[in-house]
Amino acid sequence: MSTYQLLPKLAALKDEDVRTSYQEVCKAYHAIDDFRAKLLGFLPLVSGVGIFFLLNDAFTNATKRSSTAPFLVVVGIFGFVAALGLFSYELHAVRRCRVLIKVGTGIEGRMGIGGQFWHRPDDIAGFIGPALAACLIYPAVLGAWIYVTFIFVWPLVALVLAPLVFLIGFVASSKSSLKDVTLTLEEKNYIIVSRFEIKPQHRQDFIDAALKDGRDSLHHEQGARRFEIVEDESDPNSFYLSEAYEDKEAFDAHTKGCFYQDFFDTTKGYYTQTDVLVKGTLKSS
């Protein structure tokens, strides 16, 4: 069985358009990656320095300890909430970076180059990398702020709750950020499959005419998505045309267009029989 396939739109993209898309993906990836790296570096440093100065006097001076305890509760809650917000951004940024890596790798394959995405080094042992760093640093900072909040109010609670927050944050973020992402695109294309019984002497003529119809439709009709010609493996003179359009309206516009009319005007003497086997909306993800 032979299949003649015309890919939608991608085949019609100009090299300049592909390069522009690749540059935009690279810029977006590096912008997110750079901001994540700065956060991972500055957040524990700033939090550590701030916590040191907050607790230094309280631990060494009993008089100041009682007066600063309520103040530390407020500051600790504020620090926890701020770190939690940055942690939420980090988890989203990790997944965005993974998506951009997949998209960038696909474009590099389309361009036939081995670029930064294709040759990006894998995580050590399959899990030691930027995502693991985020899963360790942010929960540690969250636990530290919980410790600051309760250490002089409920010391035992602080000693138990701080490591518990770290463990919960680590496990939850590991499940979210370390797992791979899958690019999905819900399709609701309008599909039509037709069968043609071709006269043997016009077999190649029909193939050429059908491919021309598919090329012209994909290049010039906005709603055209895919065009395939399938040769029946048990009968070389039996062909199936599989077409996909954005919706039924796009297919109706195709049937009123010049390419559709030209195809049937050209092939009316090439086939002995034709019928529609499938016509309807594809719903998948």
Domains and CATH numbers, the chain: 10-177 (no CATH), 185-281 (3.30.70.100)
Round to whole Å and give the CA distance between 50 and 195. 74
Round to whole Å and give the CA distance between 77 and 52. 16
Please tell me the pTM assigned to this model.
Answer: 0.55
Hey, which of 47-51, 66-70, 83-87 has the most confident mean pLDDT? Answer: 83-87
pLDDT of residue 197: 95
Band of residue 196 on the pLDDT scale cut at 50, 70, 90:
very high
Q: Quick check: helix, strand or coil at residue 255?
A: helix
To 5 degrees, how large is the angle CA 140–CA 145–CA 148?
130
Amino acid at 127: F
Task: Decide: 47 and 84 in contact? Cβ < 8 Å.
Answer: no
In tens, the pLDDT along 254-267 reads 999 999 999 999 99
Round to whole Å and give the CA distance between 158 and 93. 30
Band of residue 62 on the pLDDT scale cut at 50, 70, 90:
low
Cβ neighbours, 10 Å, residue 150: 20
The overall average pLDDT reported for the chain is 82
Round to whole Å and give the CA distance between 50 and 30. 30
Helices (H), the chain: 15-60, 62-111, 130-150, 155-177, 203-220, 248-255, 258-267
In tens, the pLDDT along 226-259 reads 888 999 989 999 999 999 888 889 899 999 999 9
Band of residue 104 on the pLDDT scale cut at 50, 70, 90:
confident
Round to whole Å and give the CA distance between 102 and 192. 31
pLDDT of residue 101: 84
Residue 8 DSSP class? S
Round to whole Å and give the CA distance between 223 and 179. 35
Cβ partners under 8 Å of residue 30, min gap 6: none
Higher per-residue pLDDT: 19 or 146? 146
In tens, the pLDDT along 107-160 reads 776 666 777 887 777 777 766 777 788 888 899 999 998 988 888 888 898 899
The four Cα atoms 170, 86, 146, 133 give a dihedral, to 10 degrees, of 30
